[in-house]
Amino acid sequence: MIKISAKEIICWILSCGHVEDFVDLRASCPIVSFSGMLGSIIEQIIGTICIGGESSLVGGEMSELNRLFKNAVLGFEHADDFVISFWEGAHMIAENISDHWLDERRSSLPEKTAVYLTQSDQEDIGAAVAFSERIFPFLLAMQVSLFEDCLLEICEEIARFKQIPFRERKQGRFTVQQARLFMENELTLEFPNPWQAWEKIEDILRLNNIVLNRNCYVSDDDLPFIQACTERYNEVFYDGILHSVSFGDRFLIRVNATIVSFFTELQDLLPEFFRTDEK
């Protein structure tokens, strides 16, 4: 079994630079390149998947489409451990920095001398803690990107089975909205109206757009939406001074649960298709 610590993942993400750099990378890389770079990390940390041994994901005898749906659900069900490890790891790094600085101060002073952190020390440690919050845009981006990847594979399999044309991967990222249009237009699938799971997905996508494309800045047009989200979800926060949005680890866990509900309900909307698929 191979495990990668939260600290190693955090260091990797921080090496990407600013949020804007990640946006450019994400937009320019088709799914194959994106998955190739992040896939091994995600596979090794989500659900403690074993390499060369027993896996927590679904294999065995079942239709390919069923397998894709079940793997998507299991992947996001286990993703909570990934998010929590990330969050805890970021704060552990900040605590280690604080302890290291205190040990350095003690080593240069007589024994039993009281040691105090300077204002500058406290500000630096505060910045070390704050960087964990700056990681969350990357985590939400990864969640949405993996969600898109799962939908792409599902739509590709549907197109293959139905023998209908489908876009090539080299055309760039495949979005959630494109997946819905494909199912509505090619499968004439009628989605529930209202559909609570889809409404939550739309909230997540809009938040992701604000975080990635505007670096968390909330415009006047987005303010009513953000205020509604602070009431609707736990740990979505609006800073009226900086006009920015932020959120905590519990919100990302809620994102995982929303995506699981979406896949489960989407599969239930396709009973005839799955009966045909399993013949």
Percent of the chain whose pLDDT exceeds 70 = 71
Structural domain count of the chain:
1
Asked whether residue 176 is domain-assigned, the answer is: yes
Separation in Å, CA 214 to CA 217, 222, 224, 256: 5, 11, 17, 23
Is 115 in contact with 106 (CB distance < 8 Å)? yes
What is the average per-residue pLDDT within 68-79?
92
pLDDT surpassing 80 at residue 210 = yes
Asked whether residue 190 is domain-assigned, the answer is: yes
Which candidate, 269, 277, 219, places its Cα nearest to that of 244? 219
- Beta-bridged to residue 247, according to DSSP, are 236
What is the average per-residue pLDDT within 155-166?
89
Cα gap 269→264, rounded to integer Å: 9
Is 93 in contact with 128 (CB distance < 8 Å)? yes
Asked whether residue 208 is domain-assigned, the answer is: yes
Q: Tell me what percent of the chain is helix, strand and coil, each rounded to the nearest 5.
A: 70, 5, 25
Asked whether residue 1 is domain-assigned, the answer is: no
Choice among 17-26, 54-63, 118-127, 153-162 with the minimum mean pLDDT: 17-26
What is the average per-residue pLDDT within 80-88?
78
pLDDT band for position 71 (cuts 50, 70, 90): very high
Percent of the chain whose pLDDT exceeds 90 = 34
pLDDT of residue 257: 95
For the chain, first and last CA: distance in Å?
36
pLDDT of residue 42: 44
pLDDT surpassing 80 at residue 276 = no
pLDDT of residue 132: 63
Residues 168-207 pLDDT 10s: 777 888 999 999 999 999 888 889 999 999 999 999 999 9
Asked whether residue 150 is domain-assigned, the answer is: yes
What is the average per-residue pLDDT within 54-76?
74
Is 158 in contact with 187 (CB distance < 8 Å)? yes
In the 3-class helix/strand/coil scheme, how is 154-195 assigned residue by residue?
Answer: HHHHHHHHHCCCCCCHHHCCCCHHHHHHHHHHHCCCCCCCCC
Q: β-strand 244-247 against 236-239: which pairing, if any?
A: antiparallel
Is 170 in contact with 30 (CB distance < 8 Å)? yes
Measured torsion, CA atoms of residues 187, 145, 211, 264, in degrees rounded to the nearest 10: 50
Q: Which amino acid is at 52?
A: G
Whether residue 165 is preceded by a cis peptide bond, meaning omega within 30 degrees of 0, is no
pLDDT of residue 62: 59
Higher pLDDT, 16 or 63: 63
Is 265 in contact with 271 (CB distance < 8 Å)? no
Which domain covers residue 197, as residue numbers? 6-277
pTM of whole model > 0.75?
no
Query: Given phi > 0 = left and psi -120 to 50 = alpha, else beta, which region is 241?
Result: alpha
pLDDT of residue 156: 93
pLDDT of residue 95: 75
The DSSP result for 47-113, as a single string, is GGPPSSS--SS--SSS-HHHHHHHHHHHHHHHHHHHHHHHHHHHHHHHHHHHHHHHHHHHHTS-TT-
Residues 218-243 pLDDT 10s: 999 999 999 999 999 878 999 999 89
φ and ψ at residue 252, rounded to 5 degrees: -65, -35
pLDDT of residue 98: 73
Is 125 in contact with 97 (CB distance < 8 Å)? yes
Query: What mean pLDDT value characterizes the chain?
Result: 76
- Beta-bridged to residue 246, according to DSSP, are 237
pLDDT of residue 15: 45
pLDDT of residue 37: 39
pLDDT of residue 120: 81
Choice among 4-18, 98-112, 133-147, 167-181 with the minimum mean pLDDT: 4-18
